[in-house]
Amino acid sequence: MTDQREPAELGARERAVLALERRNWPSPGAKERAVREELGMAPTRYHQLLNALLDDDRALAHDPVTVNRLRRIREERRARR
């Protein structure tokens, strides 16, 4: 018998990362400050977590607009390299 359970939902930190990405930022510095102050993590760790979320089907189900937008941006950057 196969296990048909739904995958676990995103945790609070993962949802907070996606919520931060939905916001418009006046400058990169403002976003970096928000990452440190609101999420309590270094920007490098934030980007590692964000990149992993872009490959997570749970993140896509939670916020398809944001995840698809960020996937497109990531692919465009990879194509330029």
Per-residue confidence band for 1, with pLDDT thresholds at 50, 70 and 90: very low
What is the per-residue pLDDT for 8?
Answer: 79
Per-residue confidence band for 79, with pLDDT thresholds at 50, 70 and 90: very high
Task: Please say whether the beta carbons of 53 and 59 come within 8 A.
Answer: yes
Average pLDDT, the chain: 91
For the chain, how are helix, strand and coil distributed in percent, rounded to 5? 70, 0, 30
> Which pTM does this prediction carry?
0.84
pLDDT in tens, 43-66: 999 999 999 999 999 999 999 999
Mean pLDDT of 3-11: 69
Which of 72, 32, 71 has its CA nearest to residue 54? 71
